[in-house]
Amino acid sequence: MLQLENQLTEAVSSACNSLYGSRPSDTQISIQSTRSEFQGDRTVVVFPFARLAGKSPEETGKEIGAYLVKQEKIIVDFQVVKGFLNLSISDEYWAHALNQAILQKNFGRKTPGSKSQIMVEYSSPNTNKPLHLGHLRNIFLGYSVAEILKAAGHDVVKVQIINDRGIHICKSMIAWKLFGNGETPSSTGEKGDKLVGRYYVSFDKQFKAEVKALMSSGTDKDTAEAQAPILLAARDLLHKWEAEDPEVRALWSMMNGWVYDGFDYTYGEMGVDFDKLYYESNTYLTGKSQVEAGLASGAFKQRDDNSIWVDLSDVGLDEKLLLRKDGTSVYMTQDIGTAILRFKDYPALDRQVYTVGNEQEYHFKVLFEILAKLGLEQASRCHHLSYGMVELPEGKMKSREGTVVDADDIMAEMKTTAEQLARDAGKLENIPEEDRDSLYKNVGYGALKYFLLRVDPKKSMMFDPKASIDFIGNTGPYIQFNYVRARSVLRNAGIDDIASLTPLSPVHLDDVERALLMAALSLPSVIEEAAKSYDPSLVANLCYDITKSYSRWYQDHPIIKEEDEAIRNIRLALCYLCSNAVKTGMSLLGVSMPERM
């Protein structure tokens, strides 16, 4: 709908110039969709022009409205409500706009690579535990933002940084050495990431038991936590890993390999992918060298215990540890290295977008300031896509205590629920047996993705599996069901080539039809806005708005049985456009649309 807004903006500017001898600036011209209780399709805010006219807003609106009806063919009527000018757009315009939209091969999408290159990081798990519900929002959000940016014309690079080293990894390693008895995914039949995650939980249980024992013998809590034997053993493994001890590196490589196999399976089920993987075990060395360079330049300071820090008090932040006193690195070290390596790997990169939860907002403020202190020109091109947490009715999840909702488990549950609903509703008679598993995944996974993406990323949310898969309301299955209904109409009408309906003859569209058409035509502008704001919920809720309007329209407007050929063709074209727009929008959320259900 940007084309219509641009056309009206120019028409209003010309009207003011002709009537009052002066053109308002584009920022003074505000054009909005007309509210449903008023006549018209588009509303112009008149208040800024009253000063040019030297008249009241109402009188100014009437003069501009009369001028536009006389001079602009697409404007057929107007109404002034206080300082607002409501314009009615001609049936010819809407028929032309619908005609153009249905003939566009990739309606809503711009030419790939026609805009700047943007890197989107998402997922970025630790290799000491499987993916969980919190990861699902991260992964679906990052993937969707990447797809939306791509649809807006950007050259997108999808990446993740795999946190494959550090004390958390060593905790799983030492627990497996102590309690594992050599078990492997092959010997247990357990998915690799789950097996390793189980030993992370085992570490925490043993650690707490050792702390309790030390405290019972008179040791204070802080000392007991620092001196727990299993923690000291994990720290020893970390030192040996950084010293490239062959035995420790072999154990690390083996256990990480189990985790990667598990991750790959889960990513495949999710339908997400990456263009490049970065590993902390590689990037932390670049980070360490950059910290040392910053120390040499005076950007960083070394304390008496040999630890290296940066003082960011000049920008309202605190001091931050960059290297421990024993020379081992911290998360910030590898993040420095990763950022620098990425700009080197992709010289044309305009922006890096980090999809990370809002509990890390301070971390990224510090990171970007450190990059600036190191003289990285691209520091200002880094953006933290901060999002709220996903919670359950039982409260916050904790990986180390084993209270997380496993990603594989929740996806399997959604698929099973979709199957049960289909069987209970008796909807499987016309679905071949070989297509049913794919249908269950489309509906179940689609419900999960849509539910997590329909909410503004900045907001925290409560996940409700039952509500997400309801076939009524703002849900993925509701949208999928109405999409299938629209495609069924086109099949029953024998529409193999939508071009066979064109050119469309103008017919009068009632308020319901106009609202439906305008919602569908707004897809390109909504994609553009979602790309600018990194907000897939805009696309998700447009898909729902189109679907809701379509369902209402479908009930009261005959399509195949309509006897007037011009009206029938318009309605078939509208049916095609709406289903096509929804399919495109939902694909940007990673949701597949079934043709039958």
**Residue spans in the chain of domains classed CATH 1.10.730.10:** 407-587
Range 126-137 average pLDDT: 90
Over the Cα atoms of the chain, what is R_g? Answer: 29
CB atoms within 10 A of CB 288: 21
Contacts of 266 (CB under 8 A, 6+ apart): 130, 131, 193, 407, 408, 411
Residue pointed to by tokens 């990894």:
169
For residue 405, the model assigns a pLDDT of 82
Lowest mean per-residue pLDDT among 122-126, 425-429, 468-472: 425-429
Instruction: Name the 3-class secondary structure at 588.
Output: coil
Q: Could you tell me where in the chain the CATH 3.30.1360.70 domains are found?
A: 2-89
Length of the chain (residues): 597
Q: Is the pLDDT of residue 207 over 80?
A: yes
Q: What's the pTM value of the predicted model, to 2 decimals?
A: 0.91
CATH class of 2-89: alpha beta
**Residue 228: what are its φ and ψ, rounded to 5°?**
-55, 125
Write out pLDDT tens, residues 400-423.
444 568 899 999 999 999 998 888
User: How many Cα atoms occupy the beta-carbon half-sphere of 356 within 13 Å?
Assistant: 20
pLDDT at 3: 82
Determine which helix (DSSP H) or strand (DSSP E) holds 78, and give its type and residue range.
strand 75-81
Average pLDDT rounded to a whole number, residues 284-291 = 94
Select 407-587's CATH number: 3.20.20.70, 3.30.2290.10, 3.40.50.970, 1.10.730.10: 1.10.730.10
How many C-beta neighbours within 10 Å does residue 382 have?
20
Q: Quote the distance between the C-alpha of residue 56 and its chain's center.
A: 46
H-helix segments, 271-377: 280-297, 331-345, 361-373
Find the largest Cα–Cα distance for the chain: 94
pLDDT over 60 at 398, yes or no: no
Per-residue pLDDT at 471: 87
Task: Give the pLDDT confidence of 53-109 residue by residue, as tens digits.
Answer: 999 999 999 999 999 999 999 999 999 999 999 999 999 999 999 999 999 989 999
| Interacting residues of 498 by C-beta distance below 8 A, sequence separation 6+ | 102, 103, 573, 576
Name, in order, each residue with C-beta under 8 angstroms of 344's C-beta and a sequence gap of 6 or more: none
Cα–Cα distance, 594 to 597 (Å, whole number): 7
Check: CB of residue 286 under 8 Å from CB of residue 332.
no
| Distance (Å, whole) CA 264 – CA 193 | 10
For residue range 481-531, list pLDDT tens digits in order.
999 999 999 999 998 789 888 899 999 999 899 999 999 999 999 999 999
